[in-house]
Amino acid sequence: MGTCARSAKLVGLRRIGLHHERRRQSDPHNRRSSAASSGVAAEGRGVVKILRSTTAETRLSINTATLGNPPLQTALDAIATAGARNVGLWRETYEGMSPTQAARAVTDHGLQVSTLCRCVLTPDAAMMSDARRAADDAYELGAQALVVLAGGLPPGSHDLDGTRRRMIDTLGELVPIAEEAGVRIALEPLHPMFTASRSVVNTLRQALDIVAPFPAEQVGVVIDTFNVWWDPELTEQLGRAGRENRIAALQIADWSRDHEHGPFLTRALPGDGIIDLPAILAAVDHAGFRGPIEIEIFNDQLWLQPGQHIADEAMKSMSAILRAISSSRSISEMGRQYSTQ
């Protein structure tokens, strides 16, 4: 290795070290207990205690998409005023600003970045260039995870298996880019109805199998309740994700029965739909995840309301679930299922 290459590598390694040290100091909620690390589930009432504590409410995050992705300052004003401590960012939100300027705005509002959305795994040079920018942005913003989507079927293609294989190869190219930037990738499985258009990875099992060859500290998965709630293997795979330390981000949205405006834009506020959110939260908690609980809702009818009202309602609805969670019978049921995995 030449002198220039060695110097570049040393700079990259120092950057990774500084980034992880900054994250360690600023994120007390993402430390796994020894029991969770060894795959031993806590008692159900212990989980309830964690989820009902004041610490749980300080973990709440609002994704800017919940407000319809307004300009960054507008979104941050509403989210901070609503009482959230964390924010999930879409890259479009800070368009026209440098990542450093965006990071300063986040810090000035007393917030931390839970996730940066997003990077799509399409096998072309433009994607790799965009991925480098996304990884650098995530580092500058101090994001706990860079959300990555598999991408859907190419136009005119019927080759689902081939598309998945190429996506896995592309992920392998992205991992060293993110590692150099000091950023953790979070692969997000999407509901099967999005297979053609958005993601050929549709179950938590698929996502965990895909990320398994990579170090857990570099590549994890996103648990998005809207996308995984239907999965009959969900409890089992959440247990596996915990044992393998793969949960990099948790996103919350409810499933509305009303899909009049299309399934993508009818996510509901927590508690307004049919998902058993307390049970899923309990299982994720059993798995050892202590990071931000991020509310991410795409709903074009909700976006008609003022951003401050949306942020307030999002916090109110999620806080109500956390406060009431100990009385949910499904928590103990799912907790028992997890403990037998």
Tell me if 214 is assigned to some domain.
yes
pLDDT band with cut points at 50, 70 and 90 for residue 15 = very low
- pLDDT for residue 257 is more than 70: yes
Tell me if 23 is assigned to some domain.
no
Residue with tokens 């994607």: 127
pLDDT band with cut points at 50, 70 and 90 for residue 37 = very low
- What are the tokens at 227? 């996308």
- pLDDT for residue 39 is more than 50: no
Q: What is the mean pLDDT of residues 59-85?
A: 98
- pLDDT for residue 269 is more than 60: yes
pLDDT band with cut points at 50, 70 and 90 for residue 327 = low
Tell me if 312 is assigned to some domain.
yes
Tell me if 10 is assigned to some domain.
no
Query: Under a CB-based contact definition with an 8 Å cutoff, are residues 51 and 291 in contact?
Result: no
Secondary-structure percent of the chain, ordered helix, strand, coil, rounded to 5:
55, 15, 30
- pLDDT for residue 8 is more than 50: no
Domain span including residue 128: 42-339
Q: How many domains does the chain have?
A: 1
Using only C-alpha atoms, the chain has a radius of gyration, in whole angstroms, of 19
- Bridge partners of 88, per DSSP, are 63, 115
- What are the tokens at 212? 């398994």
Strand, coil or helix: what is 299?
Answer: strand
Tell me if 70 is assigned to some domain.
yes
- pLDDT, tens digit, for every residue of 64-73? 999 999 999 9
- In this prediction, residue 260 carries a pLDDT of 61
- pLDDT for residue 336 is more than 80: no
- pLDDT for residue 62 is more than 80: yes
Q: What is the mean pLDDT of residues 206-218?
A: 98
Q: What is the mean pLDDT of residues 214-232?
A: 98
The CATH number given to whatever domain includes residue 245 is 3.20.20.150
